[in-house]
Chain A
């Protein structure tokens, strides 16, 4: 996952990463940014957004409801192990 994120965000410092149990997604914190990685077919797609938006996103039935920038998808609903992060 770190390597995949490194392809799209070269040089980005990954502070912490939360993985979906089924390996289909990951959310990483990189300073003030949240980097979201998810599977599409046999490929991967990334989105980045403000960390505050990711950290403040609601969790319902164990799923994070993450509003994403860009046209599609607009909403991701991963089940991330260890989420939500503990307040600093």
Chain B
């Protein structure tokens, strides 16, 4: 099957809107923790509303590549087979983990993803602060193996949508912790608050889409600690609500860095090094921030002589 019979994201849009309104209402009534700032929320909503426009530039290419891969498939997974949906649930989620990790750990892809993390608030509207340049940086290639395996383009599209819809509700402070068994297996508001936090302890952790098991398996899991409240946003937060700044600021920074590069090594580092990479190591990366934090922790726990 080439064309999906339904789009989970489109179907969920009314739910998104109602849930945001409910969260705002509960926050105002102090019945739940929900902090909204009008301009921040508007920026998030605008990023979400307009995300489809740049994606149109590559939609044809992505679809054609996926169809081509499917036409050269190794197996055929029937669209209606229950086991096919079980298999794609796990495989797509693993693919999402890889995509998400790459999107944080290498600057070229971080530049497309950073806008999702640029709010200092953490509420349901933050979930809609979606990328405008994500489809241009080629990460859709990561999903092609699913088509080669035999999952139809429609099935891949639907499962991607299901994952995106699932990830909406975890962008909230209104939900504390889910039951222990759920927290152990699934990505939850608590786990994802850690992911959006800029505290050094929490940096580059919890890349999960639906299942948190991948982070536990690959060593990137960090539980939310009651003693360390997440502080949201970026290492150096944006000083603007302008959506063009939100969408393109890291690309502009990359352009400036490339203009100052003096060697191929520097070009490679600025483009594909970790975010914050610099030739002389003078800028902060997640790794250096975590290392300094760990050193401070160690010093604080060492008794003075």
Contacts and interface: CB of A to CB of B under 8 A. Distances in A.
Contacts of A46: 236-237
Given A71-B253, A72-B245, A40 B237 contact: yes
A43 B249 contact: no
Contacts of A68: 239
A31 B292 CA distance: 19
Interface string A4-26: 00010011000000000000000
A33 interface: no
Contacts of B241: 40-41
Interface string A44-81: 01110000000000000000000010111100000000
A85 B237 CA distance: 27
B258 to A, nearest CB: 15
Interface string B103-125: 00000000000000000110000
Interface of A, helix, strand, loop or mixed by DSSP: loop
Given A7-B231, A10-B296, A41-B40, A72 B242 contact: yes
A21 B38 CA distance: 25
Given A41-B39, A71-B245, A72-B242, A11 B237 contact: no
B239 A73 contact: yes
A83 interface: no
B240 interface: yes
B296 A45 contact: no
Interface string A25-47: 00000000000001011110111
Contacts of B292: 10
A73 B240 contact: yes
Contacts of B40: 41, 43
Contacts of A41: 37-40, 241
Nearest to A36: B239
A38 B249 CA distance: 19
Nearest to A48: B236
> How many residues of B sit at the interface, in one of the four size bands?
20 to 34
Contacts of A47: 236, 239
Interface in B92-147: 120-121
Contacts of B238: 40, 45, 71-72
- Label chain B's interface by main secondary structure: loop
Nearest to A68: B239
Contacts of A45: 237-239
Contacts of B236: 46-47, 70
A69 to B, nearest CB: 8
Given A10-B293, A41-B39, A42-B37, A72 B249 contact: yes
Nearest to A10: B296
Interface in B22-62: 35, 37-40
B74 interface: no
Given A10-B293, A72-B249, A43 B37 contact: yes
A73 B240 CA distance: 7
B252 interface: yes
A30 to B, nearest CB: 15
B50 to A, nearest CB: 19
Interface of B: 35, 37-40, 120-121, 231, 233, 236-242, 245, 249, 252-253, 292-293, 296
10 contacts: A40-B240, A41-B37, A41-B241, A42-B35, A43-B37, A43-B40, A47-B239, A70-B249, A71-B238, A71-B252
Given A40-B238, A46-B237, 14 more contacts: A11-B296, A40-B239, A40-B241, A41-B37, A41-B39, A43-B233, A46-B236, A47-B239, A70-B236, A70-B249, A71-B249, A71-B253, A72-B240, A72-B249
